Structure 1
Amino acid sequence: MSFVIEQAVEARLVAAAPRMASIPATLHYDLHDPFAVRMSFPASATLEGVEVCWTFSRELLAAGVVDAVGAGDVRVRPYGYDRTELEFHAVEGTAIVHIRTGELRRFLGDTDALVPVGEESAFLDVDGDLAELLRDA
């Protein structure tokens, strides 16, 4: 049984210019961090020339394909008929990407098959994580 789900998606970067460039991105879900989703962009797609990875809640992504959500560094909302907009805020600036909603729904379905929504806490190893934290203390 696999404990990690990775799905490549095509993100369309919303820039100041009218043309929207497509950039590769990867959605990542790990059984050992069942509340979180990671979205990474390769170095070639970033201004700094280094891979950028954002971590946010799976619940935020799921809610964002239906309605506008988020008030912090990551915001998600439907965009048009078949896209979802993800907005990432950092000190360096804001990046906005559009992803096909169907791709996000497929990814979320795969994560739900691995860890059903509402059962995430059953997959946490709180004692093991605490022991690891205290080991170096």
Structure 2
Amino acid sequence: MDITVEQPMLARLITAEDQEIPMSATLRYCADDPLAVFVDFPAEAALEGEEVTWTFARSLLDQGLRAPAGHGDVQIWPYGRTRTVVEFHSPHGLALLQFQALALRRFLLRTYEVVAPGQEDVTRVVERGLCALFGGV
């Protein structure tokens, strides 16, 4: 199944000085990788000047829309009634972004129309990961 859901969004990058800088991002979901959500940032939003993609669990997005979730590289939590914060950690630092919660919920619901929660083909994901790990096709 090669179905992809994409949704461009406006995010606000929160700086160390508490300034909010608008930036674009695209949320992406692929039925072929049903456990993951991808967030693509354009080159102008990245430190290296190249497009950046973050990948994290779809279930993390679901949990983070309702309560603080995640530890490690990606953490998500509600911020007031209308916003959601997504915090990305990398060796180069961290990025704190705010998204409209409604837009994230809408995206998540669209992914559930493609692959319902609990109906992900985990066997196929594991096989593909093992092939990549061991150099298979």
Q: 1:94 to 1:4 in 2, by over 3 A?
A: same
What is the aligned partner in structure 2 of residue 44 from structure 1?
44
Structure with larger Rg: 1
Question: Per the alignment, in what secondary structure is the counterpart of residue 89 of structure 2?
Answer: strand
Give 1:45 shift: 1.0
Percentage identity across paired residues of the two chains: 40
TM-score by length of 2: 0.89
The runs of at least 4 aligned residues of structure 1 exceeding 4 Å deviation read: 130-137
5+ unaligned residues in a row in structure 2: which ranges?
none
Report 1:55-94 matches (<5 A).
Answer: 55-94=55-94
Provide the residue aligned with 1:117 in structure 2.
117
2: CA distance, partners of 1:58 / 1:90 = 19
Scaled by the length of structure 1, what TM-score is found?
0.89
Kept after mapping to 1: 8 A contact 2:2/2:32: no
Name stretches of at least 5 consecutive residues in structure 1 with no aligned partner: none
- Which shifted more, 86-95 or 18-27? 18-27
Mapped partners of 1:130, 1:18: distance in 2: 40
Deviation at 1:48, TM superposition (A): 1.5
Equivalent-residue separation in structure 2 for 1:59 and 1:109 (angstroms): 12
The separation in 2 between residues aligned to 1:116 and 1:72, in whole angstroms, is: 26
* Paired residues, number: 136
Quickly say closer, same or farther: Cα 1:21–1:124, change in 2 above 3 A.
Answer: same
